[in-house]
Chain A
Amino acid sequence: MNEYVVLSAILFTIGSVGVLTRRNAIVVFMCVELMLNASNLALVAFAKQSGNLDGQVAAFFVMVVAAAEVVVGLAIIMTIFRTRRSASVDDASLLKY
Chain B
Amino acid sequence: MTVFWVSAPIMVLAALGLLVARKAVHAALLLAVVMVGLSGLYLSLNAPFLALVQVAVYMGAILMLFLFVLMLVGVDASDSVVETIRGQRLMAVLAGLLLGAIFVIGLAQASFGVVVGLDDANADGNIQGIANLLFGRYVFGFEATSALLITAAVGAMVLAHRERLEPKATQADLAARRMQDYAASGKHPGNLPTPGVFARHNAVDTPALLPDGTAAEGSVSRVLAARGTVRSAPAMADDIAGIEKQLGQAPHAGRDQSAPATTEEEAPTT
Contact = CB atoms under 8 A, between A and B. Distances in A.
B230 interface: no
Interface string B167-207: 00000000000000000000000000000000000000000
Interface in B10-62: 11-12, 15-16, 18-19, 21, 24, 27-28, 31, 34-35, 38, 41-42, 45-47, 49-50, 53-54, 57-58, 61-62
B100 A13 contact: yes
A94 B159 CA distance: 19
B121 A75 contact: no
A13 B18 contact: no
A2 B110 contact: yes
Contacts of A27: 18, 21, 24, 27, 79
Contacts of B156: 71-72, 74-75
Contacts of A44: 41-42, 45, 47, 50
B100 A48 contact: no
A7 B115 CA distance: 17
Contacts of A31: 18-19
Query: Interface size bucket, B side?
Result: 35 or more
A56 to B, nearest CB: 5
Main secondary structure of the interface of A (DSSP, over half): helix
Nearest to B120: A51
Contact of B74 (A51, A65, A74, A87): A87
Interface stretch (B64-72, B235-243, B244-252): B64-72
Interface of B: 4, 8, 11-12, 15-16, 18-19, 21, 24, 27-28, 31, 34-35, 38, 41-42, 45-47, 49-50, 53-54, 57-58, 61-62, 65-66, 69-70, 72-74, 77-80, 84, 88-89, 92-93, 95-96, 99-100, 103-104, 107-108, 110, 112-113, 115-118, 120-122, 126, 129-130, 133-134, 138, 141, 145, 148-149, 151-153, 155-156, 159-160, 162
Interface of A: 1-7, 9-18, 20-24, 26-27, 29-31, 33-34, 37, 40-41, 44-54, 56-57, 59-61, 63-72, 74-79, 81-82, 86-88, 90, 93
